[in-house]
Amino acid sequence: RMPILEQCYNLMDFEAVAKNVMKKTAWAYYSSGADDEITMRENHNAYHKIWFRPRVLQDVEHIDTSTTMLGTKVSMPFYVTATALGKLGNPEGEVILTRGAKKHNVIQMIPTLASCSFDEICDAAEDGQCQWLQLYVNKNRDITKRIVQHAEKRGCKGLFITVDAPQLGRREKDMRSKFSDVGSSVQSSSGDDVDRSQGAARAISSFIDPSLSWKDIPWFLSITKMPIILKGVQCVEDVIRAIESGVQGVVLSNHGGRQLDFARSGIEVLSEVMPVLRERGWQDRIEIYVDGGVRRATDILKALCLGAKGVGIGRPFLYAMSAYGLPGVDRAMQLLKDEMEMNMRLIGCSKISDLNPTLVDVRGLSMH
């Protein structure tokens, strides 16, 4: 029997329910990672290698979890990251995530491969609600330019270019499920003929340009005033290159373990990146985000202590939406908020700007 919503006490609980109630093909698409799924597993496990060094007697009566991301004030330091094919999990699709994000004043990143059309997702947002666009770069740059400029006109406040997917990863669980209704599940892909024998992911991604390179960044900077953020950066050399190329941010991400297996977790990469940036005095030249495996407020707090501006969360909101619709997404976000307040209190921080590297012990990470 399906547990009632009030019996979900943390983000992992939604996953267990979703697995039972979702269609097999949909579950395969959402839950799969690349190859042996080692990176997917490590994304969350890496957080278990970091421990807190709380400070006591800090007057934590009032806790403020709010912060800013790319200049937008948000109530909590996470955003709903872009995940394709929302209608696989819920017939209403991504607009449910839009409404949940609105209720909790957090940002939603709209995927290129959403099930709802881009305009439907924008229309579902209320006045002043911040959304970002996740971009898969089309081989046809006229199409890319049109998508970007339309997003800017509709008020998107950030352009997240996915750079870790020149080719879609091999997600075997997804391939085995031989996805058959892909065509009807995606609105905004290129409309190319799809090969359905390769699973949902590969079927919809043939338009993505594998020749994309650093040389293209000036062009992106020239076609939009939105801040540009590279999503899927995985080492400090590329963070430095991103800063030098003039973009405003990076997401340290391995695409939720769906691309290169044995890519390191975002939190591991963050611990490589920040000391180098601090050494150069460059830590304020770029906003650094992390995603992958974030399931607890303690995960969020660890990333922020190490220097992230915010974190992206993907699957947990998909699972909450698939299992319970908007009330599920609402509860998932509320649980995170409650966890945030309690854990900030317990580590002795009353506001986000109090978080700093001395509050964590990272000797267990493999870098150290």
Between 292 and 328, CB nearer to ligand FNR? 292
| Residue placing its CB nearer to ligand FNR in the complex, 118 or 349 | 118
Residue the block writes with tokens 């830590």: 283
**Which CB sits closer to ligand FNR, 257 or 325?**
257
Q: Does residue number 169 form part of the binding site for ligand FNR (CB under 6 A)?
A: no
Stretch that binds ligand FNR, among 216-224, 237-245, 250-258, 269-277 (CB under 6 A): 250-258
Select the span of 51-59, 77-85, 143-151, 209-217 touching ligand FNR (CB under 6 A): 77-85
Is 255 noted as a catalytic residue in this protein?
yes
Q: How many residues bind ligand FNR, per CB under 6 A? A: 24
Please report whether residue 89 would count as binding ligand FNR according to CB under 6 A.
no
Q: What is the 3-state secondary structure (H, E, C) of 274-293?
A: HHHHHHHCCCCCCEEEEECC
Cα dihedral across residues 362, 363, 367, 368: positive or negative: positive
- Judged by CB under 6 A, does residue 296 bind ligand FNR? no
Footprint on residues 218-237 left by ligand FNR (CB under 6 A): 231
Distances (CA, A) of 253 to 158, 162, 239: 17, 10, 12
Query: Mutual orientation of helices 315-347 and 297-305 as an angle, nearest 10°?
Result: 70
Q: Does 300 bind ligand FNR (CB under 6 A)?
A: no
Q: Is 136 among the residues known to form the active site?
A: yes
Taking the complex as a whole, how short is the minimal distance between the CB of residue 164 and ligand FNR, in angstroms?
A: 8
Measured between alpha carbons, how far is 262 from 39 in angstroms, rounded to an integer?
5
Give the rounded distance of the alpha carbon of 36 from its chain centre.
21
- For the bound state, the minimum distance from the C-beta of residue 231 to ligand FNR, rounded and expressed in Å, comes to 5
146 close to 176: Cβ distance less than 8 angstroms: no
End-to-end CA distance of the chain: 46
What's the burial of 258, exposed, middle or buried (CB within 10 Å: 0-12/13-18/19+)?
buried
Nearer to ligand FNR, 137 or 365 (CB): 137
**In whole angstroms, what is the distance from residue 162 CA to residue 136 CA?**
6
Known active-site residue 361: no
Question: What string marks each residue from 28 to 57 as x (binds ligand FNR by CB under 6 A) or -?
Answer: -xx------------x--------------
315 sits near ligand FNR (criterion: CB under 6 A): yes
Are 325 and 90 in contact, with CB atoms under 8 Å apart?
yes
Find the catalytic residue in 13, 47, 79, 164.
164
Least Cβ distance, residue 222 to ligand FNR (angstroms): 22
Residue 155, both tokens: 């008020």
Gap between the Cα atoms of 239 and 245, Å rounded = 10
Token pair for residue 315? 């699957």
- Please pick, from the candidates 25, 39, 83, 98, the single residue that binds ligand FNR as defined by CB under 6 A: 83
By CB under 6 A, is residue 198 in contact with ligand FNR? Answer: no
Figure out which of the listed residues 291, 299, 339, 341 binds ligand FNR, where binding follows CB under 6 A.
291
Contact 122, 102 (CB under 8 A): no
* Cα–Cα distance, 203 to 198 (Å, whole number): 6
Question: Which residues ranging from 104 to 123 are in contact with ligand FNR (CB under 6 A)?
Answer: 111, 113
Binding site residues, ligand FNR, CB under 6 A: 29-30, 43, 81-84, 111, 113, 134, 162, 231, 253, 255-256, 258, 291-294, 312-315
Catalytic residue annotation: 136, 164, 255
